[in-house]
Structure 1
């Protein structure tokens, strides 16, 4: 039995709390919001974020950040914009032997660090891993079969995570490419927003298939520039996560994109949907690709839609009328 503390009482954190508790672990969930914790205590669920999923009574609930002390695993289920602040609060109570598992997806503004890199700065003595893949919380919490990957440079720590969260409905593979897993998990939100725009415009399956295929190519290029392994983007944290986020109505990024494609102002669309990680990530990915000199035309056109008032139809026209080229440019030009 492992002592597992989950920081964040949002949908994914609660879904993993249920998974881990069902596996026989000692689970604690922390939230910064007393009202949210009280609601779960009284009703047995977080109807606003994870409706229909009962939170086991054996799961402890708290607003005391010192709950991370003596934990074997601390899982970070905090939106990317708030991750550093929460980690800094927890740092004074964290034991160096505790394994940190990040599930937050995105790039930090200005520094362009991934969320595990942010966590490592806050917890320099701890092993930091990533848990990511095609995993809508709504389905994980209901026990619908799901497969993800945990990426870590410490094999033994990865095995501890695998044991603590695996079940007959939640299967975890291991991977040593932390940066690749995170880039795939973060940038898929950007492409999913663009996929939603396509849906909002009333475009077809051909368009979305092209967008997803060229999108994973952009993600791979940025990942390679950041030190990732190319093979990672063909796996669960790459194409797997991209498929589920671009195609499901569980995806807040896709739903926001649909509104934008139908004419809703981007800021208003985000306000209506709630947390849309791809909105901020698009801005950060745009700045990063310019800094690194990585060609990411879909990301750049989406940035113009979200932040510069560009028409989605004009952005689509620009993408379709780019100079003709080969699909695998580097390989073709070597011949």
Structure 2
């Protein structure tokens, strides 16, 4: 498969970017550095081999192909209808939910957060596993021993980073979480909010949420938060959970208010890993990128003496330990994209 692997991967679907392009297929890209330039939808938000995995020792683009055939192609008609008829039909909910779920998770920003989670939690998980297997390794109630064991676990985790941070492991998380969120989002209310003037942006994190956590990143979709999916400079699709509708259904098209446009643009700029995009005729709103990317809050850890009777605690989690996935194609991909084996004695 090697030489035939597609190496340029769009982390934002072209079917979405096309809604922000002019007649020549051009849009404006603004980087966090402040630099701005025109670019084509064929080049916007492209990363080298971002979704490439290894199957039977060979590079494979099965995830990139799945995104194209199962996520992007089915939603193309839905996005066109939302832009032209300003509505989301009942039959559009499933492809839109899957597209929104994937758009929340397929990005560089989401991958960076997964890596941060691993760096924060991985050493502690490794230490927990080691103590569950051999409780006499040290005394967690002793601050000196605890600090030394955490340092050793951190060093061991760094040695294992080629296994824990490899694309197979990261993309398996993305696939599982996409399946989970897609099931939930299918039951949401999706409304098209239409504006009179071209004001909306999109970015390399094209589906965003309103976050109330001031400490740091609080997950791909915080509880109770709506999903904002701008699909053109004048059209914003908003997803709302059933428990937050309060018995009221907003009919499409709804009005895109100034406050809603501001909220969407602010979230797009906040969650962008590197860039935001806009139509060449759209003015840049007076909103600045946050100075730094969102970080995770400091983990809270409660230490206790291991229970010798709980010898099975802390084992390596396998697919059999996790909830089954609903989507048959995702299930097949998970079977094909195996985790890299842990070396003996690790």
Relative to the length of structure 2, the TM-score reads 0.26
The structure, 1 or 2, with the larger RCO (C-alpha pairs under 8 Å, 6+ apart) is: 2
Which structure has more helix as a fraction of its residues?
1
Relative to the length of structure 1, the TM-score reads 0.27
